[in-house]
Amino acid sequence: MVSGTVFWTHNDASLTSDVFPRRECACTTQCAGTATFVPSLANTVSSAQTPCFIEEVSEDVREFYDLDLMVFGSRCFDRYMPFDLTLAAKCLTPGDEYSLAPARGGAHPDRVLFLVGDSHAAMLLPAFASALKGEPLSVALASVGNGAGFQGAFPNPAPAECGEDCDRITERATESGSNTWVTAVRAILDDQVQAGDIVAVVTAEPKFPHVDYISAQQALLAEMATSLSAKGATLLLVADTPNIKAPGRRCIFADSFDECIMPRSTAAWYQLNTPREDGLELHVAVNEMLASLAAEHSAVEHIDSAWVWDKMCDAQTCGPAVPGTRTVAWLDLQHLSTAGALYLGPFLNCWLHEKGLL
């Protein structure tokens, strides 16, 4: 290991700027024996000091035993109903004591990336925070759980032909007050977003068990694209990560690790009555919807599912670890661990530079 390597700060749900280390596209491969993927500029700049990835012994990481220790313990991930709309405003106001983004200007960046959505948005905070550290863009987070998120007005009642899966998604979105939270967040963003800012939206794919839910999301995002374009800002749509075979926290031990590896071809989400094969079809439909928005709106950029899956999986398999390592990248079936999200940091930094967003 190269001396001076900066690790992430474990067990710190404050998520202040010193929790996540910098991750750059021009990173260095610092761990001998690591055969994971690296971004395009890795090992090309002799002065680069940031590592592409640092392996760790997942069994020793307390996050796998207590989810509240990192992003899911953050006060800007609101899990309690009714959701605190004042909290959302504070988290999305740069310079507020609750916000991860400092006040604009001076020694701090003038631009902000607002990361909004559900628990899948929260899980990607380490990726964005590490990718933006040292860049002219800070990050603010507002996310919610309990079936809510930055999602469209889902059909209510649920489509009759969809069955229990749609009933469950509609019921959870309704009971959580998701539409009220979305309306409030849109108003907050309208007040806070400035030219050059980015609004990144991440939504768990299991919330789209039928084409009507995909259409509802498309309508919301199209409205956001129009409003952000008028401000000179960008809407960034981020594809969801693969779902693995078994919860990551069960895969941290040597005797269970191999049992958690699954074929990439079936690593799509699934619901109670939706097998992975059908989930894969809906996964493709969601990605096509996001891609169409990027094609139709100049203010929209899209990190597609192929980009995400090509980082998190090899050609044949997905999970439970960062490819080429034994570092477990998922906390459960859906959510990335901090190490898994940080692994995406240098790739995300590279992508943002390539798109001219940094």
Q: Is position 166 within any domain? A: yes
Give the domain extent around 288. Answer: 58-354
- The span from the CA of 343 to the CA of 202, in Å, is 18
Residue 16, in any domain of the structure: no
pLDDT tens for residues 86-144?
999 999 999 999 999 999 999 999 999 999 999 999 999 999 999 999 999 999 999 99
Instruction: Please choose, from the candidates 113, 189, 181, 192, the residue with its C-alpha nearest in 3D space to the C-alpha of residue 151.
Output: 181
In a domain, 344, yes or no: yes
What does DSSP assign to residue 102?
Answer: P
Residue 310 within any structural domain of the chain: yes
Please state, in angstroms and rounded to a whole number, the distance separating the CA atoms of residues 215 and 36.
37
State how beta strands 317-318 and 137-144 pair.
unpaired
In a domain, 36, yes or no: no
Q: What is the pLDDT of residue 7?
A: 81
Q: Based on the number of CB atoms within 10 Å of its own CB, is 230 exposed (0-12), middle (13-18) or buried (19 or more)?
A: exposed
Please state which of the ranges 116-130, 156-170, 227-241 shows the lowest mean pLDDT.
156-170
Q: How far apart are CA 265 and CA 273, in angstroms?
A: 19
Q: Tell me the backbone φ, ψ of residue 78, rounded to 5 degrees.
A: -90, 115
DSSP state of 12: -
Q: How many domains does the chain have?
A: 1
pLDDT value of residue 351: 98
Report pLDDT for 29.
84
Residue 63 lies in a domain: yes
Residue 176 pLDDT grade (very low, low, confident, very high; cuts 50, 70, 90): very high
Q: For position 314, which CATH number holds?
A: 3.40.50.1110
Is 327 a domain residue?
yes
By mean pLDDT, which of 157-161, 190-194, 301-305 is the weakest? 157-161
Specify if 140 maps to a domain. yes
Are 150 and 120 in contact by the 8 Å Cβ rule? The answer is no
Per-residue model confidence as pLDDT tens digits over 7-31: 888 988 889 888 999 999 999 886 6
- Please give the structure tokens belonging to residue 185: 């967040």
Which of 176-180, 196-200, 205-209, 352-356 shows the lowest per-residue confidence on average (mean pLDDT)? Answer: 205-209
pTM for the whole thing? 0.95
Please state, rounded to an integer, the average pLDDT across all residues of the chain. Answer: 92
Question: What is the phi/psi pair of residue 71, to 5°?
Answer: -60, -35
pLDDT at 273 over 70: no
